[in-house]
Structure 1
Amino acid sequence: MEFRKLGKTDLNLSAITYGSFAIGGTMWAGSVKKDAQEAILASIDNGITTLDTAPFYGFGFSEELIGETIKDLDRSKIQLLTKFGMVWDGSNKEKGDFMWNQEHEGKTYPIYKYASKANVIKEVEESLQRLKTDYIDLLQLHWPDSTTPIEETMEALQRLIEQGKILAAGVSNYTAQQMLEAQKSISLASNQVPYSMLKRGIESKVIPTAIENEIGIIAYSPLERGLLSGKFFNGESLKSEDHRNGYFGQFNLEKVKSFLESIEPIAKDKQVSLSQLVLRWTTLQFGISIVLAGARNKEQAVSNAKAIEVIISSDEMQFINTELAKLSLNQ
């Protein structure tokens, strides 16, 4: 495994990090606890030391799963990344930004983006309890909240750093301008943003701003939630309640299929999967610190971890990038 320093922090994170959105079950048509725990342990056994989660993933279930699974392991060798600011108790209707109504275990919950100082303090205590730990390596704001001044949120994070409850503070889904605004109040460790072969918008402003200010970039959805694995073009179906039924609609699926067919010979020649080739490509992109990869079972977890071993030559990289440009997939 490769390890990379995150921004100006002392955190050294695994280049491929375990992403736990799917095992939470929310939006993913459920989760199998045994499979999820095996995926977490297989990730660790194969060199992944960094686990990324959030309270929203399963309404606390993802954090609880991770906490329970690693409770007997050496905590000093594992980095826990979690988030705050997506609330579902309905108490912030006049404060936070409404996102959507989310179905969960037969009930409908209004989801709000809310990042007030009081809420940050409240949520971190809940996350510490669920994760069964006394500190969080990186605490990240999940989404920008227009109803709370950025300065207020960052001051709360700085206080948590001083108290030793978190080691570093980051954000997610921030624009370049929002990153600069946050930097006025805190030394920002990172910005977690969507980035993939099909979604490269951060290359224009976010990445240059991050590099200039020594802020790490954490890429999420590098496989576009499984689309770039190619398996959905080979007959694999999704459950009706799986959010990807709608999510995949944002892409020109015929173009995606053609692109994957064009690079598949490279994967076959290396005896690796398309997923592994795509993940490795993502880790090699300029300005990307670490890449999140979700796994719902042991097999997926092992595959993700071993993607770091894939060697892509300069000629192969040029071919992949040429195919991307030719098919106008960059967004």
Structure 2
Amino acid sequence: MEYRKIGNSDLELSAITFGAWAAGGWMWGSTDRNDAIKAIQASYDEGVTSIDTAPIYGQGDSESIVGDALKGISRDKVQLVTKYGMRWDLAKGDFAMKSKDNSGKDIDVYKYAGKESIIKECEDSLRRLKTDYIDLYQIHWPESTTPIGETMETVAQLIKEGKVRYAGVCNYSVDQMKEGDRYVNLISNQVPYSMVKREIEKELVPYALENNKSILAYSPLERGLLTGKMKPGHQFAEGDHRAGLYYFKDENLRRTNAFLSTIAPLAADKNVSLSQLVLRWTIEQPAITIALAGARNAQQSVQNAKAIQVQLTKAEIDLITNELNKLELVK
């Protein structure tokens, strides 16, 4: 495994970080707790020491699964990355979405990052994760009802108290990062980035490079789209959020798979899977320090971890990018 320094901090995360959204089941058509625990443990055995989770993933389930999976592993051997600012138990802030919890009950989710809420969420996360500190604490989404200064000053307070080591953000614009950075040292921004979602290359990537900020790319396999395993006519399980996304329209599955077929010979030549080739390409992109890869079982998590073994020359990276630039999805 490769370990990369995050921003201007001394925090190092594994270049392939375990993304625990699917492990919580929520919006993924449920999950098996034991499979999720085994997935985390198997990835750790492959050198994946960093795990990204959030309270909203399964309304606490994902964090609890992470806490259980790491029993018996020395705390200083792992890096726990979690979030705050999405509440399903408090109707305050910006309404985010209607959803269902893991038992099928309707819930309303709000984006809220007021001081008292962050302090409560931090305590809840520490308890579920079975730890006394969080390595990287990130606001999950921007929200309009709380000044950024109040939010970031609260995280700075948690850092002083030793409950949090470093502050990061998720889904922030460059302007929001600049504002937040006035109150606490923001070392990273976790945003969606994949071969078919490259909008951040325009503004966020140049800003990150210029200001020594790390980008943590989530959904680098675009929720399974870039594995090459999804075919037109794919049927999603009930409750799977992907069913309504345009990426998974039959025409886009056809177009994506046609692109993947152009880079498949390179994967075959290196004796790696398409997923592994995609993950390696992703972490070779400018400012992309970490790729978060989710897994619902041990086999998937081991495959993701082994992506680090793929070696790409500049010419090979350029070849992939040139083919990729020909791909257009329909909305």
TM-score (norm 2): 0.96
Q: CA deviation at 1:176?
A: 0.7
Q: Is the 8 A contact 2:225 2:253 kept in 1?
A: no
How does 1:72-221 map onto structure 2 within 5 Å? 72-92=72-92, 96-104=93-101, 105-221=103-219
Q: Distance in 2 between matches of 1:130 and 1:5?
A: 26
**Residue identity in the other structure for 1:318:** D
The equivalent of 2:268 in structure 1 is 268
Q: SS of the counterpart of 2:230?
A: helix
Q: Deviations over 1:19-59 (max 9, x none)?
A: 00001000001010111111000010001010000001110
The equivalent of 2:298 in structure 1 is 298
Q: Is the 8 A contact 2:247 2:329 kept in 1?
A: no
Q: Deviations over 1:164-209 (max 9, x none)?
A: 0000011000001111111111110110000000001111111111
Q: Is the 8 A contact 1:175 1:206 kept in 2?
A: yes
Q: SS of the counterpart of 1:147?
A: coil
How does 1:219-298 map onto structure 2 within 5 Å? 219-233=217-231, 237-249=235-247, 252-298=252-298
Q: Is the 8 A contact 1:227 1:248 kept in 2?
A: no
The equivalent of 1:27 in structure 2 is 27
**Residue identity in the other structure for 2:182:** K
Q: Deviations over 1:269-300 (max 9, x none)?
A: 11111100000000100111111000100100
Residue segments in structure 2 that go unaligned for 5+ positions in a row? none
Q: Is the 8 A contact 1:102 1:108 kept in 2?
A: yes
The equivalent of 1:15 in structure 2 is 15
The equivalent of 1:309 in structure 2 is 309
**Residue identity in the other structure for 1:304:** N
**Residue identity in the other structure for 2:89:** D
Q: SS of the counterpart of 2:13?
A: strand
Q: Is the 8 A contact 1:198 1:330 kept in 2?
A: no
TM-score (norm 1): 0.96
**Residue identity in the other structure for 1:224:** E
**Residue identity in the other structure for 1:166:** V
Decide whether aligned partners of structure 1 residues 330 and 198 sit closer, same or farther in structure 2, where only a CA change above 3 A counts.
farther
Q: SS of the counterpart of 1:143?
A: coil
Decide whether aligned partners of structure 1 residues 248 and 226 sit closer, same or farther in structure 2, where only a CA change above 3 A counts.
farther
Q: Is the 8 A contact 1:86 1:142 kept in 2?
A: yes
Q: Is the 8 A contact 2:242 2:248 kept in 1?
A: no
Q: SS of the counterpart of 1:202?
A: helix
Q: SS of the counterpart of 1:178?
A: helix
Decide whether aligned partners of structure 1 residues 280 and 330 sit closer, same or farther in structure 2, where only a CA change above 3 A counts.
farther
The equivalent of 1:44 in structure 2 is 44
Q: CA deviation at 1:248?
A: 4.5
Q: CA deviation at 1:328?
A: 3.9
Q: Distance in 2 between matches of 1:290 and 1:327?
A: 24
Q: CA deviation at 1:250?
A: 6.8
**Residue identity in the other structure for 1:57:** Y
Q: Is the 8 A contact 2:230 2:253 kept in 1?
A: no
Q: Distance in 2 between matches of 1:235 and 1:5?
A: 42
Q: Is the 8 A contact 1:84 1:124 kept in 2?
A: yes
Q: SS of the counterpart of 1:208?
A: helix
**Residue identity in the other structure for 2:60:** G
Q: Is the 8 A contact 1:19 1:51 kept in 2?
A: yes
Q: Is the 8 A contact 2:114 2:150 kept in 1?
A: yes
Q: Is the 8 A contact 1:200 1:330 kept in 2?
A: no
Aligned residues between the structures? 328
Mean Cα displacement is larger for which, 280-289 or 237-246? 237-246
Residue segments in structure 1 that go unaligned for 5+ positions in a row? none
**Residue identity in the other structure for 2:218:** Y
Q: Distance in 2 between matches of 1:44 and 1:268?
A: 26
**Residue identity in the other structure for 1:197:** M
Q: Distance in 1 between matches of 2:208 and 2:163?
A: 25
Q: Distance in 1 between matches of 2:315 and 2:207?
A: 29
Q: CA deviation at 1:236?
A: 5.8
